[in-house]
Structure 1
Amino acid sequence: MKLLYITNGINGAGGLERVLSIKASYLVEHYSYDVTILCLNNNDKDPFYSFSDRIKMLSITVGGNPIKYIKQYKNGIERIVRELNPDVISVCDDGLKGFFIPKIIGKNIPVIYERHVSKEIEMNESFSSLKKKLVQTKWKVMEQLASSFSKFVVLTKGNTLEWQSLTNMLVIANPLSFYPEKSSTLQNKKVIAVGKQGFQKGYDRLLAAWQIVNRSHPDWRLEIYGTIAPEYKLEELSKSLRISDSVCFYPPEKDIQSKYLEGSIYVMSSRFEGFGMVLIEAMACGVPCVSFDCNYGPADIIQNEVDGYVVANGNIDSFALRINDLIANKDQRIKMGQKARLNVQRFSPEIIVKQWDMLFKQLVK
């Protein structure tokens, strides 16, 4: 099976890049797929995550004004598809341009779209009415174009609510990045969060909750790993909340597994998500999670009050209360961590990538 992935790049530290490295490598190593990943502007160089050596990496150059960019994008994809003649194409591009690929390719090759984010990533509550209207119009265009894919794959049942008119939709969750032999001892006085700084991740909400936690448990620390964006002024916020002595911000960590294993609680304060890879990674390390019930992912992953807590989105007091509960009750923390490690096995690559293999084979019959 010759499979072509089309994406913007694989050198970032995001969830899309992480998932692609796992799926593509597994298909090559365990199913003997012939996999090529096509990126833009040499963003296949120096990938943050590890990819199988058997995967071919290609790049096309795009740039200039919008007309020139679109022409180069179209011509580049047409050329690569002609040269490779893949059996299936899978598009991993959350921007608008990716939705046009079936029209570029034609109808001879099955084309799948993998949606890795919520539509809400396009929207911000601070936008003007006009800008919100433009975003909503873009959503309608995306939904119309989405119907031209052979399959439109989303990550959770919740995600299907954003694409209700589609009849070509399929739910396939993200696979686990790792499943270590040992679990966290849950003894270290550390709470962990992972993800790039920005509006989506809601670290302003996390710091507000941590201020409450810190009053009761000043000996515990909050460690946040992810691309640092000074414009969000999170360090200044932690100082103004008088919690800077117990909060540390770190850049992306390649060996993030070791950080989960050092933590005792994982927290996700996102305003919205496409899935929440960080949740299943933490759970694989036996770490119980506390997450806002954002759209979409946490409610599909965490079994509330069994292997973690899902809190009403934006309820800072409840978020802090659940963190305090896990800090104060070591036995409950350990019990939930054990359940989390057991329950998350349903996201193993053996289970998830098998679903992709079945889909690809179904489309080329």
Structure 2
Amino acid sequence: MRIVYLVPSIANEGGVARVLSTKANYLVQKLGHEVHIVTQNKGNVPLFYHFDAAIFLHDILLTGTPFAFLWSYQKALSVIFKKIQPDCIIVADNGLKGYLVPWLFPTKTPILFESHGSKFIQEQASKNTFFGKLTYRFLILLKIFCAKKFDTFIVLSEASLQEWKLYNALVIPNPLATIPVKKANLQSKKVIAVARNTYEKGLDRLLPIWQKTSLANPDWTLEIYGNQVTNGTLLQLAKALQIENSVRFYEPVKNIEAKYQEAAVVLMTSRSEGLPMILLEAMAVGLPAIAYDCPCGPRAIITEGENGFLIPDGNENVFIAKLTLLLQNVALRVQMGNNASKITAKYDLETVMLQWQNLFETVAKK
């Protein structure tokens, strides 16, 4: 089967690129499919994750006004589709153009949407005005309308299924690329967070939490790994909060599993998530997790009080209290860490890819 993925970029350390590398490699190596990945504006160089040499990489240049942008997108993809003659098209693009693909390309070829984010995802703070609120509401309704046009709309969890409420939706979670052999011993005094420095990922919400937590736990350190975390904005905020001595900022590293193994707790303060690989991979190593109950990924992974704490979104005081509890209670960390590592069975690579293979066989019959 010839499978084409449409994704803005795979030249980054993000969760979508991580998952796509795992799945695309499996599709060509284990299942014998022909896989093509179409990115935009040099979105496939340089690659952060490994993509098998048998995978075909394409890139298209998109510039200009929104209308010129869409016209260029439609024209370039038409040329690629005509050449490849795909049996299945998978859109992994949360941008508006991703939702418009079935309208831009009326075709009998099955078009699937792979949703890696919340329906309510916001890449920047919305304007608190009547027009700003109206625009936000309109975009959500437009997403829902367009989502119904896809042959199948794949979501990553039951929580996401409830969020979208679509008749054509199907749950297939992200897989773990590997099952960790070495687990964290949870004895270090390091807390870890992994996220790019964007509004959506909410690192600006994490630093004030750490400021208050570190007052009672001065011997602990927070390590933050991610794209643009070493730029001026977070450093300035850390200095303003007077926590620059207890926070360390690092650019992305390929062997993030080793960093999880050195930590004792993993934190997430995102404003929205799909099914965050950061939590899956950290908890697989045995880290208890604390995350805001944002829409809607963390609640699909964290079982409150068993493998971590799910905090009411934006409730800083509860977050601080639960974090302090874990930092000061080794036995509780170990208990929750042991429970956290049990999630690996649900996200086993072979199991997840069997679900994808079954879906491909189903859409091929249609």
Q: TM-score, normalised by structure 1?
A: 0.95
Instruction: Verify the 8 A CA contact 1:177 1:281 in the aligned structure 2.
Output: no
Deviations 1:275-326 (A, max 9, x none): 2211001011111111111111111101111111111111112111212222
Provide the residue aligned with 1:310 in structure 2: 310
Once residues 60 and 233 of structure 1 are traced to their aligned partners in structure 2, the CA distance between those partners, rounded to angstroms, is 32
Unaligned stretches of 5+ in structure 1? Answer: none
- In the TM superposition, 1:206-355 aligns within 5 A as 206-228=206-228, 233-355=233-355
Match of 1:139 in 2: 140
**Which residue of the partner structure matches residue 157 of structure 2?**
156
CA contact (8 A) 2:118 2:296 kept: yes
User: Within 1, Cα distance between the matches of 2:288 and 2:139?
Assistant: 38
Q: Which residue of 2 aligns with 1:51?
A: 51
Q: Which residue is equivalent to 1:193?
A: 193
Deviations 1:189-221 (A, max 9, x none): 100000011222222322222122212210110
Contact 1:197 1:232 in 2 (8 A): no
Provide the aligned length of Structure 1 versus Structure 2.
Answer: 364
> AA paired with 2:143?
M
Q: Is the CA contact 1:197–1:226 (under 8 Å) kept in the aligned structure 2?
A: yes
Percent identity of paired positions between Structure 1 and Structure 2: 37
- 1:182–1:16: structure 2 CA closer, same or farther, 3 Å change rule? same
Tell which deviates more after alignment, 343-352 or 225-234.
Answer: 225-234
C-alpha displacement of 1:126: 4.2
- Are the structure 2 counterparts of residues 228 and 45 from structure 1 closer, same or farther at C-alpha, using a change threshold of 3 Å? closer
What is the alpha-carbon distance in structure 1 between the residues aligned to residue 27 and residue 271 of structure 2? 33
Q: How far is 1:129 from its partner?
A: 2.2
Is the contact between residue 287 and residue 337 of structure 1 (CA under 8 Å) also seen in structure 2? yes
Q: Distance in 2 between matches of 1:23 and 1:139?
A: 28
The residue number in structure 2 matching 1:15 is 15
1:178 has 2:174 as partner:
no
Distance in 2, Cα, partners of 1:67 & 1:244: 45
**Deviation (angstroms), 1:181:** 1.0
Contact 2:273-2:297 within 8 A present in 1 as well: yes
Q: Distance in 2 between matches of 1:217 and 1:187?
A: 15
Asked whether the equivalents of residues 112 and 154 of structure 2 are also in contact (C-alpha less than 8 Å), the reply is: yes
Q: In the aligned structure 2, how far is the partner of 1:345 from the partner of 1:323?
A: 27
Preserved CA contact (<8 Å) 1:7 1:93? yes
Provide the C-alpha distance between the structure 2 equivalents of 1:222 and 1:278, rounded to a whole number of angstroms: 16
Alignment of 1:36-75 (within 5 A): 36-75=36-75
Question: Does structure 1 conserve the Cα–Cα contact (< 8 Å) formed by 2:229 and 2:251?
Answer: no
| Structure 1 residues 136-162: Cα deviation after superposition (integer angstroms, max 9, x where no partner) | 112222221211110011112222344
TM-score normalised by L of structure 2: 0.94
Aligned with 1:49: secondary structure? coil
Give every structure 1 segment of 4 or more consecutive aligned residues whose post-TM-superposition deviation is greater than 6 Å. none
SS at match of 1:120: coil
- CA apart distance, 1:121: 2.3
Deviation at 1:269, TM superposition (A): 1.1
- 1:5–1:232 CA distance, 2 compared to 1 (3 A): same
The CA distance in 2 between the partners of 1:353 and 1:67, in whole Å, is 37
State the superposition RMSD in angstroms: 1.7
User: What's the offset of the Cα at 1:268?
Assistant: 0.7
Distance 1:319 1:177, change over 3 A: farther
> Per-residue deviation at 1:106?
2.2
- 1:204 and 2:204 are equivalent in the alignment: yes
